[in-house]
């Protein structure tokens, strides 16, 4: 999440909270809402970025150390931490990105529902947390990079580790193929990656082929669930 000062429609300077990979304005730190800075269905006008200090009293309060709990970005961050921690309890890697998160969001909505207006910020924080994990480099594993598409936008190059799940989408065939990474190895011809599809024999690809064919879907099990150290 990027934090930037933005001039609102009425000239007030708010603290904007932006998607760090696309620059999309998610929200402002106070209750004024993103529409105090952008119009519906419009992108953030770069001319709204400003070096001027905050003039919105609520944004100033949210940035003061004694009243920081009023900062909407921080409130959303705590909810996001709760969602990811709940999803982690399943300890099943593919579930961390989809089913585990779906169940965690459901549990949150039932037990400790956040204000609706925080949803987009929570989603953005969860996406940042998942991206950090997707980018964590397994120790001692040769580096092979594949694209990782962030849920709220933006694609980054992420390292492949044993246990990761990769996806290939065939536009021509119109189907999704999922494979699990069995291992990476250094060979005289470069690094190779061995993967298997459920119920199929393992296939070994060069690093270049892997990067062209697959993108990263989720990461390998947490250290507590297996032997992989990150």
* Contact residues for Zn ion, defined by CB under 5 A: 14, 30, 32, 56, 58-59
Query: In what helix (H) or strand (E) does residue 16 lie, and over which residues does it extend?
Result: strand 13-18
Report which of 153, 76, 170, 171 is spatially closest to residue 114, judged by C-alpha positions: 76
Q: How far is the CB of 201 from Zn ion (least distance, A)?
A: 58
Nearer to Zn ion, 59 or 87 (CB): 59
Q: How far is the CB of 91 from Zn ion (least distance, A)?
A: 40
Nearer to Zn ion, 17 or 59 (CB): 59
Nearer to Zn ion, 31 or 182 (CB): 31
Nearer to Zn ion, 6 or 158 (CB): 6
Q: How far is the CB of 118 from Zn ion (least distance, A)?
A: 15
Nearer to Zn ion, 55 or 206 (CB): 55
Classified as helix, coil or strand, 107 is helix
**Distance of alpha carbon 3 from alpha carbon 131, whole angstroms:** 18
List alpha helices for the chain, DSSP H: 57-62, 72-88, 93-97, 99-111, 119-135, 207-213
**Distance of alpha carbon 77 from alpha carbon 27, whole angstroms:** 13
Q: How far is the CB of 131 from Zn ion (least distance, A)?
A: 27
**Distance of alpha carbon 22 from alpha carbon 150, whole angstroms:** 10
Report which of 30, 17, 24 is spatially closest to residue 45, judged by C-alpha positions: 24
Q: How far is the CB of 120 from Zn ion (least distance, A)?
A: 16
């Amino acid at each position: 999440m990027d934090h930037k000062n933005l001039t609102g429609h009425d000239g007030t300077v708010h603290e904007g909270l932006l998607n760090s990979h696309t620059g999309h304005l998610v929200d402002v730190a106070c209750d004024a809402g993103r529409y105090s800075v952008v119009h519906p269905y419009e992108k953030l006008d770069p001319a709204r970025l400003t070096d001027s200090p905050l003039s919105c009293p609520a944004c100033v309060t949210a940035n003061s150390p004694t009243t920081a709990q009023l900062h909407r970005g921080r409130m959303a961050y705590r909810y996001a931490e709760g969602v990811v921690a709940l999803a982690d309890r399943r300890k099943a890697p593919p579930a961390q990105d989809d089913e585990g998160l779906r169940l965690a969001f459901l549990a949150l909505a039932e037990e400790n529902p956040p204000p609706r207006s925080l949803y987009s910020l929570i989603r953005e924080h969860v996406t940042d947390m998942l991206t950090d994990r997707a980018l964590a480099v397994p120790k001692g594993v040769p580096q092979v990079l594949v694209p990782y598409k962030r849920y709220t936008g933006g694609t980054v190059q992420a390292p492949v580790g044993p246990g990761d799940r990769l996806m290939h989408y065939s536009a021509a065939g119109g189907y999704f193929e999922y494979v699990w990474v069995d291992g990476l190895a250094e060979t005289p011809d470069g690094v190779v990656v061995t993967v298997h599809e459920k119920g199929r024999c393992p296939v070994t690809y060069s690093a270049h082929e892997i990067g062209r064919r697959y993108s990263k879907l989720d990461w390998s099990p947490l250290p507590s669930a297996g032997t992989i150290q990150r």
